[in-house]
Each structure stands twice: as structure tokens, then as C-alpha cells.
Amino acid sequence: MKYSAFHREYNLEILLPIYAKFFYALMTCFTWALPAFGTGALPATSERDTLEALERRIRGVSAFGEELLLFPEDKDFVIGLAYPGKTGTRESFFGKLTDQERITLDTKTKRMWVSGYGFDGFLMFFDSLNLEFFFVNRKTKAIVSSNQVPWDLIKPPRDRGGEPTTFEIKEAREKFRKAFRKKPLGGITGLAIKEKRKDGGLDFFMSSNIPGFPLLELGCRAKNGDFYQCQVERYCFINTSFKESYLSGIGYSPKRKVIILADAKKSELIYLKYNSCYSVTLVGRTSLPEKFKKVSGVAVDEEDTLWVSTLEPDDYLNASLFRWESSAW
């Protein structure tokens, strides 16, 4: 059956308003489906959910299993803690102060440790100053391998049309190189594990102070079936803007598909819904309790517990680390 131009125009006049209403309703449902968090302030923590660290000034935190890694400011060691996690008092949950272990990494070079992770019989630590991973034997605490991270092979995110063109990749790399040279000292402020790959690799999110590139993706591939070869792979698009220079850590909740960034200046957490590296959407901001001196790091463990470290301990419990169970945030 053939339609005249009149019929086609008439049908469009009828259908367009219907389509518009349909898509408006769809977007409204999508908005309601977003996580109901990221507003107001996080509740004050009880004493049991706070940790007094061996060092007062803590730059960042990593949490996995029932283990914590704390990164003191301007120190050549990392604090490790395997906590018992029992109900009751602060000590029954975290153990005694003497249970915290200093892990000294003797690399003969000035380092800025900001993040770490544990796998099998090893720990891996990231040095933001030199963009380098170190792999440490859990028992002996000896360095067994290291990996300089290439940063100049970055790509834009893959979009609906597929991988970026050669021209887009070249343009993005040149822009990133210029911004990277202007970065503050130690431009990477934290790492959060995104997923463990089926081939044995690890994928991470990275927060950065590099102007225009607050969120990066880093991939670590198994190297000769042993340790990892890691590389900065992509930068992500975010549908909002903020001052990268104040970002001080990153966490990721696979359960909610939400990235959490710590804003040191505003003393708040920024929540980003992660659909893909091409589609990262701001869904909320949460202010931290007033007693917090300066937020320095954030992490989310496998139980969806939120951990936040501060550069100065609070005046009440001398704590530099705070936790909220999944239901509390």
C-alpha cells in the first residue's frame, strides 16, 4: 500500500507527540530506578566502626576480604591489618594497636604509596609518584617483582559505534600527554578494583588529579602466568564537572555499579553511576560528618562496606579510619 506525502506528514504529526510521551515516561522510570542514596550526610559512626592507626596522617585506604592496607603520609612503609571482625567493641572488631603491621618497602627511591590489593600469596602496591606497581610476598614481605605502568597508550572510551578511530586516539593521546605534564605531584590519587577477569587479569578504576581526566581505567594482564603487566587503557566520560585537584581517593561498589570519589576540599563523597566508560553519570553527593578533618581516601570491600580515611585523626576517638556497613550508606 502506497502513502502520499500528505499521509506521511499527517501520521508524523500524530505519532511524534506519542513517541515524546513514551520516552519521557521511560526516562522518568529510569530516574526512579537510580540508587536512593547520595543525599544529605553520612551518619556519625560508633566507636566500634573507627580505627586508630599506627600513624596519625593517613593518605589512603584499601580494603579486601578482612584485610586493610593504610598508606601513611610521607612514609616509606604501609600499614597492614588482618582484623578479626567480631561484634562488640572497637578492639574486638579491629584488634589491638599492636596487631597493625608496618610493611617496609625498601626501593631506594622516594615513593608515594596510594593504593594496594591482595591476591593469592601476594600483595600489590601502587606508587603514584613513579607510576609503578610492586608485588610483595605476603609472608616474607619481600619485593618479588615490579611493573612500570605505561600511561601514553591511552584511548577514549568505546562508544555505541565501536572503538574510536585512529585520528580520535591520536588526538586524545596528545591531549592526555599535555595534561599529564601539568599534573600535580603524584597525579593518581587512588585505585579501586573493577573486576577480576576470566583470563586471570585484573581491571581497576583510577582517580586522578590530571586536568580533564578525573577517571581512568587500568588493565592488568597475567605476565608469563605469574605477576601482572599493567597499563592505563582508557579515560572515561563523566556527565558532570568538578575540580580534579581536590580528588583524594576512589572506591567502587559492584553491587550498585557505583564509583565513589572523595573530594578533600568539600569533605564529601561523589557518587557516579557506571554504565560503561562512555557513560558515567553523577547520581549524588554526600557530606561527611563534621568531626572529619580532611578526607584522604575511600574504599568499598566485597561486603559493600564503605571505608573512609582522613589525613588527620578526629578529636574524639583519635581515629583516622571510619566504616559504614552497606545498609548505612
pLDDT tens for 115-160 read 999 988 899 999 999 999 999 999 999 999 999 999 889 999 999 8
Rounded Cα distance between 61 and 108, Å, is 23
Total residue count of the chain as it appears in this document: 329
Q: What percent of the chain is predicted at pLDDT more than 90?
A: 67
- Kindly state the cell numbers that stand for 326: 552497606
Question: In Å, how far are 286, 302, 322 from 292, measured between CA atoms?
Answer: 13, 25, 10
Q: What phi and psi values does residue 24 have, to the nearest 5 degrees?
A: -65, -45
Please name the CATH architecture into which domain 43-328 falls. Answer: 5 Propeller (2.115)
Phi–psi pair at 140, nearest 5 degrees:
-85, -20
Buried b (16+ CB within 10 A) or exposed e, 224-244: eeebbbbbbbbbbebeeebeb
* pLDDT at residue 8, rounded to an integer: 41
Percentage of the chain beyond pLDDT 70 is 86
Q: Which of 312, 295, 210, 221 is nearest to 260 (CA)?
A: 295
Mean pLDDT of the chain: 86
| Structure confidence by residue, pLDDT tens digits, 287-325 | 999 888 899 999 999 999 999 999 999 988 999 999 999
- Please give the order of strands across the beta sheet that includes 113-119: 113-119, 122-127, 132-137, 143-148
pLDDT recorded at residue 227: 76
Instruction: Please give the C-alpha separations between residue 197 and each of 162, 193, 204, in angstroms, as whole numbers.
Output: 21, 11, 11
Mean pLDDT of 100-125: 91
pLDDT band of 68, cuts 50, 70, 90: very high
* Domain extent listing, the chain: 1-33, 43-328
User: 246-273: per-residue pLDDT in tens?
Assistant: 889 999 999 999 999 999 999 999 999 9
pLDDT value at position 226?
Answer: 63
- What is the band of 17 on the pLDDT scale with cuts at 50, 70, 90? very low
